[in-house]
Structures are given as structure tokens and as C-alpha cells.
Structure 1
Amino acid sequence: MPSYRTAQRSRPGPRRRSLLTGAAGVASAALLAGCSDSGDSDADERTSAARRLRAAAAKDSRELLGRYDAVLAAHPSLAGRLTPLRAEVKQHADAFAAGRATASPSPASGAASRSPSARPSPSVAPKPEDAVRALAKAERELADRRGEALLDAPAEEGRLLASVAAAGAAHAYLLTEPEGDK
């Protein structure tokens, strides 16, 4: 059986189908670019809101970290119980600060957290049990505020807030548990 070959064109340049596909792609890109101009302000507003939310959450975590530091300074005997929780609060502050475009080092990190002049120290109850109760109350209040902030938070910040709020609620629970029940 003889084989039949089809004649191929040897015309130089792109084919008509390629040109039409390319033109459609350029037109689509132009339409999308035109539509996204009106959305830029919305995206900028969401980004700005996310930055403000992260900055406020980082500040709250640093303040809570300061409370832990003050209690540990006043009651070193609580170090075994509080140090792991303090470390998590530090991670929370760092996580919120990491998402900010102009994240500056946390004043509660490094030497600043050990410097008495870094920030005014919160008052600490003279009895260790009362100091721990006050920490539990601070953790619970912050977890509640973060839970409320979830309603208006963008997706990524909402997930982080939810996680940190849950950790704060767990910290509050652990701090209210009697020492021997663990």
C-alpha cells in the first residue's frame, strides 16, 4: 500500500492559530489589568488592616511576655512551671512580628527583656499563687480578645489568631490547675 504524504506548508512566520491565541491572551491580560485597578485599593486596605492586626497582636504578646518576666523575677521558684509557657508566649510575639513588613526586633527579646529599664514592669502579687492567678487571668482575657478579633481578621491572620488564642486558653487552664494535679 502506498503511503500518501500530505504536503506541509513551508511558509515562514507564525500560523494563524498561534496569532489568534496570542491576541486573545493579550486581550485577556489587558481586561484583567483594567479590572484589578479598582481592586488595588481593597487589597491595600486588607493588607493595611492585616499589618495593624499583627502589630497589635505582637504588642499584646510582648506585654504578656513582660508579665511573665515580672512574675519570674519576683518569684524564681515558679520558673519550672512558667518558663515553658513564657517560651510559647515569646514564640507568639515573634510569629506576629514576623508577618509585619517592617518587623523590628521585639523589645522583649534578647537583652531588652532582661533590662529593668526596657519597660515598666507590671505589678506582681507578693504571693506566688496570686501571681500565677493574675497571669491566668491575663492569658484568659487576651485569648478572649483574640477570639473576638477573629471575626474581622483576614484568613492568614485569622488562623494565627485562632491558634494563639487556643494556646492562651490552654495556658490559662494550666495556670489555674493546682500544681499537684499535673
Structure 2
Amino acid sequence: MPFPSSPRVLTGPRRRSLLASAAGAALLVGCSTGSDSGGAGESPSPDERVRARAARDSEELARRYDAVMAAHPALAERLRPLRAQVAAHVEAFGGTAKASPGVTAPTAPPSGSTAAPTGSATPEGSGSPDGSRAPAGAEASGSPAAQQTAKSALAGLAAAERSLSDRRTAVLIQVPGELARLLASVAAAGAAHAYLLTEGDK
């Protein structure tokens, strides 16, 4: 009996196959970065607005990854490849991806010390309020991710990936072919990320 040709009909995909699927989606994104920019002074077209919104959504998702890695450094190795793909999605939609900050375990100051953290904890070029290049430990103490266990932080990331994937799928019929293909590719990668974040190591 012939096997189905589409990966969408497979059930219970393995972790490695989903990693390959997500990587393939990122490759597709890499060759679909063109935009239909209008002339100077023109109002953005509906397609350009969809691209801009998609870039902002991916930027926000990248910041969530950074916050979780800062709050739970033990997860950094697992999350860094997924975060890198999210950054690639930002660029695919015409945004500018920020580099992931170095993730190190927050260190407590010496007993009785009131000194502020040294500049060495701040990645080069940081200080902007967008947060994606904030010091590795800066968000760890006050972010929602710091209040969660590692498992619940992963679940929160998975929910964000899944929600964004669903929203992108929903707008496919509203945009032309090239942009629809890009959105579909990124939505598929997001669904794979959600699986890996919650089921990948079972």
C-alpha cells in the first residue's frame, strides 16, 4: 500500500523529523524575503501591513525566548536553535532580528554589597527598550518567566508559538501567493516548535 506523500497526514511525528521540518521551513523563509514596497511617501499596502505585523509578532516571540533563557539558563541549549529560527522569520518578513543575548546563570552580589551589576553583564549595543538585547540576567528577576518553573515556562512558549501559528494560518486567504506561502511556511515552523517545546523529549 503506498505511503501518503504529505507530511501533514503523519501521526505522532518524531522529534528529529519535526526538527528537520522546522529547519526546512526556515530555509523556505530564507528565499522568500522580498516585499512589495511602494514608493517613498506612499501609504503601506495591505500586504506590507501584514508583513510588518508578522515581523513585530516574531520580534515579540524572540523576546519571550530571551526572557525564558535568562530566567532558566539550563534551557538555553534547547531553546537557542528555535529562537534562531524565530529571528530568521523576523528577517523574512522584512524586520531586523536582534541577536540573542548571552545566557548565563544570574549571580548574586557578595553579601552586603549594593553595587550595581558591572557593564560586563550587558551585551554590546544593549540598553534599548525593545528588550531583545537586554542583559542576560536583567529580565530574569522581574519577568513572568522568572516566576515560573522551567516546565511551565516551556508551556508558555509553546502556547505563544501555537497561537501565532494559528493566527498566521487564518490570514493565508487574505494575501497573495508569495506572502501566503511565506506565512504558511512560518506557521508550520511555529507548530513544530510548539510540539518540540512540550512533547519533543517524551
TM score, norm. by length of structure 1: 0.63
Distance 2:59 2:73 in 1: 20
Partner of 1:79: 76
The structure that has the greater radius of gyration is 1
Q: CA deviation at 1:122?
A: 5.3
The counterpart of 2:171, out of the listed 144, 149, 172, is 149
Does the 8 Å CA contact 1:57/1:96 hold for their aligned counterparts? yes
Aligned positions, number: 127
Partner of 1:90: 87
Q: CA deviation at 1:115?
A: 2.2
SS state at 1:97 partner: coil
Which structure is higher in helix share? 1
The counterpart of 2:155, out of the listed 119, 133, 140, is 133
Distance 1:123 1:52 in 2: 30
Partner of 1:58: 55
2:191 aligned with 1:172: no
* Long gaps (5+) in structure 1: 1-43, 99-104
Look up the equivalent residue of 1:73 and give its one-letter code.
A
2:133 aligned with 1:114: yes
Distance 1:166 1:136 in 2: 13
Does the 8 Å CA contact 1:72/1:82 hold for their aligned counterparts? yes
Which deviations, in whole Å up to 9, do the C-alpha atoms of 1:141-162 show, x marking residues without a partner?
A: 0000000011101211111000
Distance 2:143 2:60 in 1: 9
Instruction: Say which structure, 1 or 2, has more relative contact order (CA 8 Å, 6+ apart).
Output: 2
Partner of 1:123: 144
Identical amino acids, percent of aligned pairs: 53
Which deviations, in whole Å up to 9, do the C-alpha atoms of 1:157-178 show, x marking residues without a partner?
A: 1110000000000000111115
Does the 8 Å CA contact 1:67/1:122 hold for their aligned counterparts? no
2:70 aligned with 1:70: no
Which deviations, in whole Å up to 9, do the C-alpha atoms of 1:44-72 show, x marking residues without a partner?
A: 99x71111010000000000000000000
Change in Cα spacing, 1:114 to 1:127, as seen in structure 2 (3 Å) is same
TM score, norm. by length of structure 2: 0.57
Distance 1:158 1:178 in 2: 28
Which deviations, in whole Å up to 9, do the C-alpha atoms of 1:82-112 show, x marking residues without a partner?
A: 01100000000111016xxxxxx44x34745
Distance 1:122 1:92 in 2: 24
Which deviations, in whole Å up to 9, do the C-alpha atoms of 1:124-149 show, x marking residues without a partner?
A: 14200000000000000000000001
Change in Cα spacing, 1:145 to 1:122, as seen in structure 2 (3 Å) is farther
* 1:2-41 equivalences in 2 (<5 Å): none
